[in-house]
Amino acid sequence: MKPLAIVVFALFAVSMNAGVCEAAIQGRTGTEFDLVARAGHITTGDGDSILMWGYAVGNGLMQYPGPTLIVNEGDLITVRLKNELSEPVSIIFPGQDGVLAIGGNSGLLTREAPPDGATVVTYTFVASQPGTYMYHSGTRVDFQVEMGLTGALIVRPSSGANRAYSHPQTSFDREYLFVLSEIDPTIHELVELGRRSEVDMSRYFPVLWFLNGRTSPDTMADDGAPWLPHQPYGCLPRLHPGEIILTRVIGGGRDLHPFHPHGNHLRIIGENGRLLESAPGAGPDLSYSDFTLTVVPGSTYDALFTWTGEKLGWDIYGHGPGDPLQPNEYAPDHGKPLPVQLPEKQNLMFGNHYSGSPFLGAFGDLPPGTGGMNASGGLFFMWHSHTEKEIVNNDIFPGGMMTMLIVEPPAVRIP
Amino acid sequence: MKLRAERRVSHKWTALLLLGAVLAQAEIRVQCPGDTDGDAVVDQPISGRQIKCMHLSAGDGFANMADGKLQYIFSFANLTGTPVGDAMMAGMLAAEFPAPLITLKEGEEFYLTVTNVGMTRRPDLFDGHSVHFHGFPNASAVFDGVPDASAVPVMAASFTYYYNIVEPGTYMYHCHVEATEHMQMGMLGNLYVQPKQNDLADGTILGAHVHRNPDGAGPLGDRYVYNDGDGSTRYDVEFPIQMSSFDPAFHEASLQVQPLPFAMMRDKYAMLNGRGYPDTINPSPIPNSETGGFGQKMNSRVSAVRGQKILLRLSNLSVTAFFTLTSSGLPMKVVGTGARLLRGPDGKDLYYETNSVTLGGGEAADVIVDSSSLQPGTYFLYTSNLNFLSNDGEDFGGMMTEVVIQ
């Protein structure tokens, strides 16, 4: 691990002690949204500061990705856009039918807001189908999405809370968003230096990779972490054993990414805002399980994930035979000892997310200076791009498109 | 050859001296119930338990690419059957690429010991090593191999992983320490699990299929990819084929103790089971030109008798690229992905027929090729990422192998 990464990890540790994590997807709810395209600088795990263009809410800061718009099925949605950048921008809503654009100037894909900071373009559509979507600029899409003009759109079904789609088999206990993207900083540097005309997208070579607009380890910091004012969305999924989380995954850049959830398989129940079902009302009967999800640019995926530690052949809680069962514990393994002896401490290198114990909710003896990022005795599982060159921040390992999922002991409250 | 051998030994002794301080405390230890002498071979089976053990070293070595270029690598070597006292000497500079094949059966308890033998040619490194059993369901953190979330063995120490094998399918394994570096350097291997359905009694009815098992656990019985209940994943011959790729600039920088090009990584050698064509069809282990060790043991030549069903256990562990494998006329049926039967939750069949399979890093697919419609002859399985039909500057070869139907 490089010294810089250590510093960043240390910052993260401080934040975790003081912080409040949020289990719900952060975003803006409602039916009317006022967005302004403006510029700002994001920070990346290699210590860089990069000019981005993004959608801000009203007078707020530019943010990357743009505000997650969370709406309800059947609602008439209105998005008003103003533009404080240096060239026309717009918004398109892939997957939404009958988007009406009014105002501004006509563009190739939709009506555009001129860079005057005042003209308003209004986009309206009925959010007719529940699911996970994205929105992004429809102007010079190759360049402007790279600059950051993109965001997530979530349409909740009218049939009930905590469902991905109308069908009850799409129910979840918690949900998390994963917007996968990448950038080539040389493009952003040229824009910042006023050399926009020299940008050549054909020479695109990304070296920074993001989850929800952050590079690891910032992905694991809180939503709204104050030192990331332009990157408000964290990406730290947590669950208790037996709970079901819905992972909403968006291919938000231009490359494919193989997204690998350690810990267990994903069951993919929806793609591109449609339930994987053979007939309306059938439920996710065409859903499938996989240990790595191919995330295609422009596509979205809704997948369910759960974890109990069942059939490990040993008791993940470290129970003795007479101890009571934990909620959702796999009873046949109850009280079974760990089948191997772990090496003595001097034979091991310890990770900072390791509690020192193999058992959920337990702590073990750790050498000084290790284990500092595991406050609860939870089990940490890395969720990351399995194109492993993408879990770096430029040439510094580790970083990039990577975070942790935490299986928390039943007694630990997840907000 | 004599000079080479001497140099190899001298390097090993140098490394041993360097490791001396560590050795004083560290412990090489194989844990394997029923193994009485520490070589990871079960000598006295335990009634009621199916125990499988392996002992892998993790360290460095060399491999030659199909154009002859020597690459410095990190990987695992198979020490199963080696006396534990010989593990360091046998494991050093012995890295295999790909890492040794791991085959398991549903119902087995798998005790996998990894001994970190250090990187002899990089004595400045003090890296740990681990095994990530990629795709293992309901995993524990302690045996997941992620160094951030667990503990991994230091040099001259061992760690024994325990896996209760309950889900058949095609997985893979790799080191997860400094993953971008150690995986680019070659710590990648095939791993698959065969289903219990293979062990059913002769004559068991599986839907429209009657299971054959005339010789108990012997070679004559039917074999399946999954517990399909209907024989639809039955196959006759199986071939694990793992895609991977190397950036020679990265391997050279590693050997020369230079800063490593992480984000700037550009792979130039695309391989199947650690070789580019035409080495992919060479049936023999390939020695490397540095130590003479035979670290490239696997070929990927597929052969079958017309009428047989061929199972291709495809996986990709490239750290840079998705690859598409296509064929010259082989009918492919995908019956599983990610070590799961391709079926919906209510049993709906999601198998599909295709002529190509695209996999990113960490993805796997089970593909059955029914050769009954094929004329005898040689067919090709190759990447349609056509620039990778090359071995670096050699405009020929790369990610391709032959499928021979007799």
Cβ neighbours of residue A279 closer than 8 Å, sequence gap 6 or more: none
Q: DSSP class of residue B281?
A: G
Same domain, B211 and B293: no
CA distances from A279 to A276, B83, B142 (A): 9, 60, 43
- What pLDDT score does B21 carry? 45
Angstrom distance (rounded) from CA B224 to CA B206? 12
* Six token digits for residue A399: 């970083």
Whether pLDDT at B147 is above 60: yes
pLDDT band for position B25 (cuts 50, 70, 90): low
The pLDDT value recorded for residue B219 is: 86
Each residue of B230-241: pLDDT tens digit? Answer: 999 999 999 999
Could you give the number of structural domains in chain B? 3
Look at B151 and A294 and tell me if their CB atoms are within 8 Å: no
* Candidate from A258, A288, A307 with C-beta closest to B363: A258
| Best A50, A207, A289, A383 residue to mutate vs chain B (most B CBs within 10 Å) | A289
Whether residue B282 is found in the same domain as residue B300: yes
For residues B244 and B143, state if they share a domain: no
pLDDT for the residue numbered B20: 47
The class that CATH gives domain A28-161 is: mainly beta
B41 and B158 together in one domain: yes
pLDDT digits (tens, 9 = 90+) for A173-195: 999 999 999 999 999 999 999 99
* Residue at token pair 């401080």: A14
Tell me what pLDDT residue A12 has.
41
Give Cα A364 to chain centroid, integer Å: 31
Looking at residue A144, what is its pLDDT? 98
DSSP β-ladder status, B356-359 and B323-327: antiparallel
**What is the Cα–Cα distance from A248 to A127, expressed in whole angstroms?**
17
Q: Do B25 and A346 touch (CB under 8 A)?
A: yes
Measured between beta carbons, the chain B residues lying within 8 angstroms of A340 are 31, 111, 160-162
B contact test, residue of A262, A276, A330 with most B CBs within 10 A: A262
Superfamily the domain A175-307 falls into: Cupredoxins -  blue copper proteins (2.60.40.420)
* Mean pLDDT value across residues B42-71: 98
> B209 and B248: one domain?
no
Q: Is B102 on the interface with A (CB under 8 A)?
A: no
Tally C-beta pairs within 8 A across A and B.
225
Look up residue A238 and give its two tokens.
Answer: 């947590």
3-state secondary structure of B196: helix
Cβ B363–A389 below 8 Å, yes or no? no
Which token pair is A285? Answer: 């009967």
* Cα dihedral across residues B188, B323, B313, A266: positive or negative: positive
Cis peptide before A65 (omega within 30 of 0): yes
Q: State the Cα–Cα distance between residues A125 and B141, nearest whole angstrom.
A: 45
In this complex, the residue of A207, A278, A380 whose CB is nearest that of residue B148 is: A380
Per-residue pLDDT at B216 = 83
Is ipTM over 0.85?
yes
Ranges of CATH 2.60.40.420 domains, chain A: 28-161, 175-307
Q: What is the CATH number of the domain that holds B72?
A: 2.60.40.420
Q: What is the pLDDT of residues B348-394, one digit of tens each?
A: 999 999 999 999 999 999 999 999 999 999 999 999 999 999 999 99
Question: Is 80 exceeded by the pLDDT of residue B13?
Answer: no
Mean pLDDT of chain A: 94
Phi, psi of A364 (to 5 degrees): -125, 175
The lowest-confidence range among A2-6, A117-121, B161-165 is A2-6
- Contacts with A346 from chain B: Cβ below 8 Å: 25-26, 154
Which residue reads 């430029």 in tokens?
Answer: A394
Q: Strands B109-118 and B132-134: what pairing?
A: unpaired
From B168, B197, B226, give the residue that closes a domain: B197
Domain identity same for B156 and B58: yes
Do the chains contact at B27 and A294, CB–CB below 8 Å? no
Percent of residues, chain B, with pLDDT higher than 70:
94
Region A335-359 average pLDDT:
97
User: What's the pLDDT at B374?
Assistant: 97
Of A351, A379, A389, the CB nearest to B147: A351
The verdict on B136 and B217 lying in the same domain is no
- The β-bridge relationship of strands A66-72 and A28-29 is parallel
Residues B132 and B223 in one domain: no
pLDDT of residue B26: 66
Residues B303 and B163 in one domain: no
pLDDT in tens, A218-230: 999 999 999 999 9
Is B229 in the same domain as B316?
Answer: no
**pLDDT given for residue A371 in this prediction:** 87
Residue B167 sits in the same domain as residue B83: yes
Range of the domain at B336: 235-405
Inform me whether the pLDDT recorded for B12 exceeds 90: no
> Which whole number is the average pLDDT over A147-161?
95
**Nearest CA-CA partner of B226 in B343, B327, B141:** B343
Question: Torsion-angle region of residue B392: left (phi > 0), alpha (psi -120 to 50) or beta?
Answer: left
What pLDDT, on the 0 to 100 scale, is given for residue A24?
Answer: 83
b vs e for A49-85, b when ≥16 Cβ sit within 10 Å of the residue's Cβ?
ebbbbbbbbeebebbbbbbbbbbbbebebebbbbbbb
Closest CA of chain B from A342, distance in Å: 7
Instruction: Give the pLDDT band (50/70/90) at residue A318.
Output: very high
Q: Which of B210, B234, B258 is the last residue of a domain?
A: B234
Asked which of A15-24, A101-110, A335-344, B2-11 is least confident by mean pLDDT, the reply is: B2-11
pLDDT category at A10 given cuts 50, 70, 90 is very low
- B22 pLDDT band (50/70/90 cuts)? very low
Average model confidence (pLDDT) across chain B: 94
- Quick one: pLDDT at residue A261? 98
Instruction: Residue A280: count other Cβ atoms within 10 Å of its Cβ.
Output: 8
Please give the pLDDT value at position B262. 96
Where among B148, B169, B197 does a domain terminate? B197
Q: Most distant CA pair in chain A: distance in Å?
A: 73
| pLDDT at A319 > cutoff 80 | yes
B135 and A257: CB-CB below 8 Å?
A: no
